[in-house]
Structure 1
Amino acid sequence: MLSKPLRAAFVGCALVLWGASLPKLLQAEVPARPNIVVILVDDMGFSDIGCYGSEIPTPNIDQLAANGLKFTQFYNTGRCCPTRATVLTGLYAHQAGVGHMTGDYGVPGYRGFLNEHCVTLGDVASSAGYLTAVAGKWHVGHRDRSMWPLGRGFDRFYGVPEGGGFYFQVKAGRRVVLNDQVVADVDHPLPDGWYSTDAWTDAGLQFIDEALAAKKPFLLYLAHNAPHFPLQATAEDIARFRGKYRRGWDELSEERYRRQVKLGLIDPNW
């Protein structure tokens, strides 16, 4: 298992879809088939990383943002599954069949899984000769293996077909899957020391090594279940931040607001 600094560096260096600034893209020759890493985090707030005004130290992400692009105006669905459906297909979630969560309501926009009328990032990248993988939380169809990543255009999968909701041990209604085989569930627990954020990141790094060794361009979709509730941290991280938030949310919110205004992320008249 990789050390925490190496994982942090990986996440920091891969958070944005295109890991280069616009001026550099304009000046440099772009590879015909650039490697792509897409990282999706679950329920993270707009001000939760350093470059967006947080007190939480995220130096690698901040460095990437300083040399890349930051977005300040956007819309999302406010829901887990529809957001994932849109990221994976480029469609409105209802067009892809995931207008709400994963329950099947029997009407086209609310089937609870990616329908047969959409293509995924995996489909497109694979057709272009990419090696593709998903690590982490899928949550856009789980009832049948054909709905899992390998049935939707991806070559590799290590993660949870259903939603998240656990960090250290599988809970009822969840399974950890390697490709299309279940490797852990409530009756077959995960090993001691397993932690989802580290496990998904390690799987992503292993996939990148595999793609580099094969000399193939790659697409990695790394979908963390963190920081979705019930947020659970390692003892090391709890000790590191113990006492930091005793002042309460109101004071913290005001500090973040002032930093966001100073950074030019929000208009002080809002």
Structure 2
Amino acid sequence: MSKQPNIILILVDDMGFSDIGSYGSEIHTPNLDKLANEGIRFSQFYNTPRCCPTRASIMTGLYPHQAGLGFMEEDIGNPAYSGTLHKQCVTIAEALGDQYHSLMVGKWHLGKKPSQRPFERGFANYTGLLDGASNYFKPEPDKALIRRNVPFQAPR
């Protein structure tokens, strides 16, 4: 039986195509370069100018409007702009199921209600911010860091 490959997907807000060494940057990024050079790299990739819609597409493989995040996390009364992933959309973690241990770290920004959180969308473990723009070290009270579905304070 062959071993399944690891899947590491890195999404960074406000990063340009050539901002790491393996894509032509003059910035020295040896660890990211090693991951890119030993794995599969995108040579064509399209995203939206907003973080939520891009994240929704990557998580589901759908256009952002199909997933419910045509704009951001605001529900404006239209299914394409519901502000959260639709329940019928399958996330990459849900699709991988029990074949992989799916872990997510960082900004979720795809819905804050308990039923919309990473644990409810197939991730076995999550540490990060449910909301968008926030401060990891001094989060606002309603934008706390979450670890295993429990709010916590980052160490200083």
* TM-score tier (shorter): 0.7 to 0.9
Give the aligned CA root-mean-square deviation in angstroms.
2.1
Residue in structure 2 matching 1:41, options 4, 7, 12: 12
Q: Which residue of 2 aligns with 1:139?
A: 109
After TM superposition, the runs of 4+ consecutive aligned structure 1 residues lying more than 6 A away are none
Work out whether residues 164 and 174 of structure 1, in 8 Å CA contact, stay in contact via their aligned partners in 2: no
User: Residue 126 of structure 2: SS of its match in structure 1?
Assistant: strand
CA contact (8 A) 2:93 2:123 kept: yes
1:159 pairs with 2:128: yes
How many residue pairs were aligned? 156
In structure 2, the partner of 1:84 is 55
1:68–1:120 distance in 2 versus 1, CA, 3 Å: closer
Tell me which of 136, 148, 152 is aligned to 1:179: 148
Residues 49 and 58, structure 1, Cα contact 8 Å, conserved in 2? yes
Pairwise mapping of residues 1-270 of structure 1 onto structure 2 (< 5 A)?
A: 31=3, 33-126=4-97, 128-142=98-112, 144-171=113-140, 173-184=142-153, 190-192=154-156
Cα 1:160/1:130, change in 2 over 3 Å: same
- Deviation per residue, 1:126-156 (Å, 9 max, x gap): 2x432222111100111x1111001111111
CA distance in 1, matches of 2:21, 2:29: 5
Larger Rg: 1
- Taking structure 1 as the reference length, the TM-score comes to 0.53
Task: For 1:148, give the aligned amino acid.
Answer: R
Give, in angstroms, the shift of residue 172 of structure 1.
5.4
Rounded Cα–Cα distance in structure 2 between residues aligned with 1:109 and 1:65:
34
Which runs of 5 or more residues in structure 1 are unaligned? 1-28, 185-189, 193-270
Q: CA deviation at 1:173?
A: 4.2
Distance 1:172 1:84 in 2: 24
1:124: how far off? 1.4
Q: Distance in 2 between matches of 1:175 and 1:92?
A: 29
Deviation at 1:69, TM superposition (A): 4.3
Cα deviation for residue 53 of structure 1 reads 2.6
- Larger relative contact order, structure 1 or 2 (CA cutoff 8 Å, min sep 6): 1
1:95 shift after superposition:
0.6
- Aligned sequence identity (%): 48
SS of aligned partner of 2:27: coil
Q: Tell me whether 56-65 or 37-46 shows the greater mean CA deviation.
A: 56-65
Paired amino acid for 1:139: H
Greater helix fraction, Structure 1 or Structure 2: 1
